[in-house]
Structure 1
Amino acid sequence: MQSSITPAAAVCQKRKYVSEDMTIGFIGAGKMAQAMTKGFVTSGIIKGKNITLSDVSASNANPRMLQFVKEFGVTTTQDNKEVVNKSQVVVISVKPNVVNKVLKEVKEHVSKDKIVVSIAAGVPLSTFEQNLPPGSRVVRVMPNITVTVQAAASVVAPGTSVQLHDSELVRELFQSIGICEIGSEYLLDAVTGLSGSGPAYGFIAIESLADGGVNMGLPRDLALKLAAQTLLGAAKMVLESGKHPGQLKDDVCSPGGTTIAAVQSLEKSGFRSCLIGAVEAATLKAQELGSKNK
């Protein structure tokens, strides 16, 4: 089985739907918008000069934003309507509670030749379709913060009026910054619980493994590097080997050895149950947000 990770450079070389001069706009210039911008520009799939970000609540003189603009060559504005007018693909990357306000503001500027992409957690496609002109091409995506290092895990859910190639175009964009699959919207709450919130679980695991190493005498910097690389390697083996993670775990556990002793300790502590519970809690929270934002 080949890896399901498509290298960013390979995506750019075999691009089919994303043109070299495509323009993208972000309404909302927070961490996710900046991370996605960095990923798109770094991968080479979108030029910085073709990206516009708006943040109506922030000053364009913000030192961090100025540095971001200088580094990636993007344009910023405080006018959401300007973003829509200049962009072929418009990414809604604001907090869920302000989505309706933003949609009302830009509604008259959303034409049928534009693709609207929402990364607002918990806000259903119906909210966009009801608050934008009839026939608007809306796609909902659940990425995660690892877009920053072009290792995101994303799922695309198409709306009722998207054209045949719209979902593929959006998937191609997100494949430039990680892996991306197309699925039905009902899956997205669970996607949020697993991969959307999942990096936090991984960070806690790395920190905890490093603490264990320090407890056993390792220097902190070495323990952190070993912990992070170990999880990175384990993930790569799952994606590239085609083996079930349970089989890979068994391959490491020698009879009477150190690893099986550690696995026994994890089982006693309810390690599996804790992770399952974390995904469930995040999924239920996403469902709650969705019910509030319908």
Structure 2
Amino acid sequence: MALTDRTRIALIGGGKMGEAIMGGWIAASEHPADRLTAANFTVANPGEERRVYLQGRYGVACVADARAIEGADVVVLAVKPQVMMGVLEQIAEVPAYVGGKDGPLFVSIAAGLCTERLEGALPAGARLVRTMPNTPLLVGAGATTVAGGAQADEADVALVRDLFACLGAAYVIDEDDMDATGAVSGSGPAYVAALIEALRDGGAAQGLEAGLAEALAQQTVYGTALLMRETGQDAQTTRVAVCSPGGSTLAALAAMEEAGFARSLDAGVAAAVFRSKELGQC
């Protein structure tokens, strides 16, 4: 499937993530989203105020319900996991819906809901690709993992990967790894924010003004990630490069390790995976 100026994309859910995805695709300067304009999109969102905003901000067509899928080539399911199944029931009841291989390609961004469960709520044969983006997608720096369902072919998966690569980085994975990637990158921004909070509070405890401490922590996280990406250094090399024998950095890392720094992160990732499986019921 190739994108053209005639491709119809239905965005089900016009919240922050849905808006970021659509806005990023419209603004992208790289293949394949450079072919997409506001005219390609119809957004379904129940809130009238939100619809008015999206129409005014992007010039896209908006409707209140799942009728947005009529004539769509791609349907992006950008709603919260707890309302997803109800939305899929509405989609299946749209009179003009064409299912199976002749129907649209569905793209889910809902955490925890596996393709088997989603496909079970759609008419038989529906093509589905599951994704796990994270919130830095809002600023074009997202990390998204992509896995195809039973009826999606390689071209479907490649198209979705390329679309999300316009919003940061995108990786095709086995669906069995989706909960783990959600625990690392999907939930990861919260871990990084918690790290920044802790560094801020630690700096403040040593006499720094809290705002300055947080700004320093933010810039340090950003700069370290950029350094690693631009130089190709792995995490271990980057860490060792900052440590002088007998210096303050080694003393800090030793104290953090004694306090359970690595163990706490490992436990957090494991807990996120466990909870994701519970919520997904797959």
Q: Give me the TM-score of the superposition, normalised by structure 2.
A: 0.88
2:13 alignment counterpart = 28
Alignment of 1:44-55 (within 5 A): 44=29, 45=33, 46-55=36-45
Q: Secondary structure, in 3 states, of the residue corresponding to 1:19?
A: coil
Shift of 1:20: 4.8
Distance in 1 separating the partners of 2:219 and 2:145: 26
Q: Which deviations, in whole Å up to 9, do the C-alpha atoms of 1:205-244 show, x marking residues without a partner? A: 1122222233333333332222111111212233333333
Q: Secondary structure, in 3 states, of the residue corresponding to 1:52?
A: strand
Shift of 1:256: 1.6
Shift of 1:17: 4.4
1:241 alignment counterpart = 231
- Is contact 2:5–2:40 with CA below 8 Å preserved after alignment? no
1:98 aligns with 2:98: no
- Is contact 2:183–2:273 with CA below 8 Å preserved after alignment? yes
- Is contact 1:88–1:113 with CA below 8 Å preserved after alignment? yes
Distance in 2 separating the partners of 1:231 and 1:18: 37
Shift of 1:110: 4.1
1:221 alignment counterpart = 211
1:174 aligns with 2:164: yes
Of 100, 114, 128, the match for 2:104: 114
Residue identity in the other structure for 1:219: E
1:76 aligns with 2:62: yes
Q: Cα distance 1:65–1:270, how it changes in 2: closer, same or farther (>3 A)?
A: farther
Shift of 1:199: 0.6
Residue identity in the other structure for 1:174: F
1:146 aligns with 2:136: yes
CA RMSD of aligned residues (A): 2.1
Distance in 1 separating the partners of 2:72 and 2:53: 23
1:155 aligns with 2:137: no
1:203 aligns with 2:193: yes
- Is contact 1:156–1:182 with CA below 8 Å preserved after alignment? yes
Residue identity in the other structure for 1:178: G
Q: Secondary structure, in 3 states, of the residue corresponding to 1:256?
A: coil
Q: Secondary structure, in 3 states, of the residue corresponding to 2:246?
A: coil
Residue identity in the other structure for 1:227: A
Q: Which deviations, in whole Å up to 9, do the C-alpha atoms of 1:63-122 show, x marking residues without a partner? A: x553343222223211212x1114321111222233222222212514324110111111
- Is contact 1:138–1:159 with CA below 8 Å preserved after alignment? yes
Residue identity in the other structure for 1:71: R
Shift of 1:164: 2.9
Higher relative contact order structure (alpha carbons within 8 Å, sequence separation ≥ 6): 1
Distance in 2 separating the partners of 1:23 and 1:209: 46
1:136 alignment counterpart = 126
Shift of 1:266: 1.2
Q: Which deviations, in whole Å up to 9, do the C-alpha atoms of 1:232-268 show, x marking residues without a partner? A: 1212233333333112111110012121111112112
Distance in 2 separating the partners of 1:179 and 1:271: 27
Moved more, 156-165 or 211-220: 211-220
- Is contact 1:26–1:33 with CA below 8 Å preserved after alignment? yes
Q: Percent identity?
A: 37
Between the two proteins, the alignment pairs up a number of residues equal to: 272
Residue identity in the other structure for 2:238: L
- Is contact 2:45–2:51 with CA below 8 Å preserved after alignment? no
For structure 2, which runs of at least 5 residues remain unmatched after alignment?
Answer: none
1:280 alignment counterpart = 270
Distance in 1 separating the partners of 2:230 and 2:2: 26
Moved more, 177-186 or 112-121: 112-121
Distance in 1 separating the partners of 2:207 and 2:98: 59
Distance in 2 separating the partners of 1:221 and 1:178: 28
Q: Secondary structure, in 3 states, of the residue corresponding to 1:140?
A: strand
Q: Cα distance 1:226–1:41, how it changes in 2: closer, same or farther (>3 A)?
A: farther
